Structure 1
């Protein structure tokens, strides 16, 4: 038996619904179902009666709920009493993609801290590295490109969709093109994000599907560095359309067929986020701040 299992069980009791409990705790329904099944197996009791559109406690479940809610109350009191003894409040550890963080994270963090006065520490990592650090409990949450193979092993919340563009200087030979295809870029030097970015696997997969080996000139996580290379006119870079690029110096060419990516917030599966992290997740999910994640430029 774990405190997480008791939290899941009591949430279902409060909301009379596994679906709503999962939404409130920011976890998946199967995670709750497994926890309840494990409790029933461990204590050899049946906790719920499952009707067609209703879930109710058994008599054993009612007694178990009284004990479980009492244990959770004491654990919360223990945390509040001794957690407040330290002068320093632990910060929420948030992983952010180096380039995408320039789009909306400064506004987001300012709004969050204005409302909650909770310290935040930001760490720049590509999505693949950030997801690994979440599993290692080094990060609490991370903004990621969600197009990687094991996304289902995490809890996640979709924020926005963005499309790829090919960015070139005004004097590049493709600067007057209305669209760009990978076949046109067969021998063209290109710039990609760092190797811990999902962008690399996405772009490489498209190239390899056409039996083309891309001519990668540079991997970089710094937009300024990328644009300085592009400015010379001898290469181009795959970027996201939401990134702010000065139209006086650069041209953004749509990629055809279109390549898009989903972005969202990621946190560990099977573990209830601490109260500070829960506030941050809830803050992002609130409609009041949805406009932060629109790709207007």
Structure 2
């Protein structure tokens, strides 16, 4: 028995529906069904009766719910008591790739902290690495690119979709182009973010799919450094279209065909949702 199993079970009891319980917890229906099945198997109980319109607790299920609900309330009380007993609340640990910091920060995090008074601890790292740290429970959540992950290993919420553009300075030979294709860029000097970033993996895979090898001259970790190199007019870089740039110095060239990207939050399956994590998920989802 785990706290997350009890949390899922109690949600079904409150909503009389696996579908609504899954929606309230931002997880899949099979995850809840599996948790309930495991509880029934462990304790040799039949917890629910299924009717055409809803599911109803059995007598032993009602007794189990009373105990489970009391236990979860004690856990919540303990969490709040000991979170406040120190000098500060335990922060919610969020991993975010540097390139997306300019898209989502600081407005998103400042609004959350001001509204819920829950501190956030941000760690800049590639989405690949951040997802690994979420799985290892060294981070609570990833705010990043969702494109290359096996999402079946995680719960996630899609925040927005975007696409890549090719960014050059206004003194670059391609600056007047209306659009570019990957074959157009096969001999261009290109800058990518570090090799384990989603951006680098996505772009290199797109070139490889066309049997092309990009001329990557630099792998860089910071957007500001990348833009300084672009100013010379010798390099180009792939950026998300939503990344703000100085339009007096640089231009965004559309890619044909588009290479799309998806941004969102991602957290580990099967964990007990702390108060802070639950509030963060609700907050992000409320923003669309």
Distance 1:81 1:177, change over 3 A: closer
Equivalent pairs counted in the alignment come to 288
1:196 aligns with 2:196: yes
Partner of 1:45: 45
| Counterpart contact for 2:165–2:238, Cα < 8 Å | yes
Within 5 Å, which residues of 2 pair with 1:5-20? 5-20=5-20
Within 5 Å, which residues of 2 pair with 1:261-272? 261-272=261-272
| Counterpart contact for 1:179–1:253, Cα < 8 Å | yes
TM-score (normalizing by structure 2): 0.95
Within 5 Å, which residues of 2 pair with 1:46-61? 46-61=46-61
2-structure distance, mates of 1:74, 1:115? 25
| CA-CA distance at 1:81 after TM superposition | 3.7
| CA-CA distance at 1:60 after TM superposition | 2.0
Which string of whole-angstrom CA distances, capped at 9 and with x for unpartnered residues, describes residues 45-95 of structure 1? 211112233111122212221222233233333334444322221111111
| CA-CA distance at 1:175 after TM superposition | 1.0
2-structure distance, mates of 1:200, 1:53? 49
Unaligned runs of 5+ in 2: none
2-structure distance, mates of 1:79, 1:149? 31
Secondary structure class of the residue paired with 1:99: helix
Within 5 Å, which residues of 2 pair with 1:68-217? 68-217=68-217
2-structure distance, mates of 1:116, 1:88? 14
1-structure distance, mates of 2:116, 2:253? 41
Partner of 1:229: 229
1-structure distance, mates of 2:164, 2:275? 36
| Counterpart contact for 1:125–1:196, Cα < 8 Å | no
Partner of 1:286: 286
TM-score (normalizing by structure 1): 0.92
Which string of whole-angstrom CA distances, capped at 9 and with x for unpartnered residues, describes residues 181-230 of structure 1? 01011111111111221112211111011111111111112111111111
User: Structure 1 residues 261-270 or 24-33, which shifts more?
Assistant: 24-33
2-structure distance, mates of 1:235, 1:203? 16
| Counterpart contact for 1:27–1:270, Cα < 8 Å | no
| CA-CA distance at 1:123 after TM superposition | 0.7
| CA-CA distance at 1:168 after TM superposition | 0.9
| Counterpart contact for 1:127–1:197, Cα < 8 Å | yes
Distance 1:114 1:74, change over 3 A: closer
| Counterpart contact for 1:180–1:254, Cα < 8 Å | yes
| Counterpart contact for 2:95–2:125, Cα < 8 Å | yes
1-structure distance, mates of 2:231, 2:85? 54
2-structure distance, mates of 1:260, 1:227? 22
Unaligned runs of 5+ in 1: 291-297
